Amino acid sequence: MDRKIEDILKRNQLSVTSGRKKILELFLQQDGALAHNDIEKRAGEKFDRVTIYRTLQAFLEKGMIHSIPTSDNSIRYALCKDNCSEGHHHDDHVHFVCSACGNTVCLEGVMVPPIKLPNGFVVEQVEMLVSGVCKSCNMDV
Amino acid sequence: MDRKIEDILKRNQLSVTSGRKKILELFLQQDGALAHNDIEKRAGEKFDRVTIYRTLQAFLEKGMIHSIPTSDNSIRYALCKDNCSEGHHHDDHVHFVCSACGNTVCLEGVMVPPIKLPNGFVVEQVEMLVSGVCKSCNMDV
DNA sequence: GTAACTGCAAAATATTTGCATCCTT
DNA sequence: AAGGATGCAAATATTTTGCAGTTAC
CATH number of the domain residue B6 falls in: 1.10.10.10
- Total structural domains within chain A: 1
State the pLDDT confidence band at A89, using cuts at 50, 70 and 90: low
pLDDT of B42 over the 70 cut: yes
Mean pLDDT of chain A: 86
> Does residue B87 surpass a pLDDT of 80?
no
Yes or no, beta carbons of A119 and B135 under 8 Å apart:
yes
Spatial separation of the C-alpha atoms in residues B22 and B6, rounded to whole Å: 11
Asked if the Cβ–Cβ distance from A125 to B130 is below 8 Å, we say yes
pLDDT tens for A34-73 read 999 999 988 876 789 999 999 999 999 999 998 888 877 7
Q: What's the pLDDT score for residue B50? A: 97
Helices B49-61 and B18-29 meet at what angle, rounded to 10?
A: 70
Give residues 31 to 60 of A whose Cβ lies within 8 Å of B.
none
* Confidence tier at A87 by pLDDT (50, 70, 90): very low
Query: Smallest Cβ distance to B99: which of A99, A124, A138?
Result: A124
Q: Give the mean pLDDT of chain B.
A: 86
Backbone angles phi, psi at A114, to 5 degrees: -65, 150
Residue B140 has pLDDT above 80, yes or no: no
Report the pLDDT value the prediction gives residue A82, as an integer from 0 to 100: 57
Compute the distance between CA of residue A51 and CA of residue A58 in angstroms, rounded to an integer. Answer: 10
Contacts of range B18-27, beta carbons closer than 8 Å, 24 or more positions apart: B19/B46, B19/B47, B19/B51, B19/B55, B20/B55, B20/B58, B22/B46, B22/B47, B23/B52, B23/B55, B23/B56, B23/B59, B24/B59, B24/B64, B25/B1, B27/B65, B27/B77, B27/B78, B27/B79
Question: Cβ of residue B68 near strand C, that is under 7 Å?
Answer: no
Q: pTM of the prediction?
A: 0.84
Selected for mutation to probe chain A from B126, B130, B133, B139 (highest A CB count within 10 Å) is: B130
β-sheet with A76-79: strand ranges across: A34-35, A76-79, A65-68
- Interface A–B counts its CB contacts (< 8 A) at 120
Hey, is the C-beta of B113 within 8 angstroms of any chain A C-beta?
A: yes
* Averaged pLDDT, A122-131: 90
Range of the domain at B82: 2-140
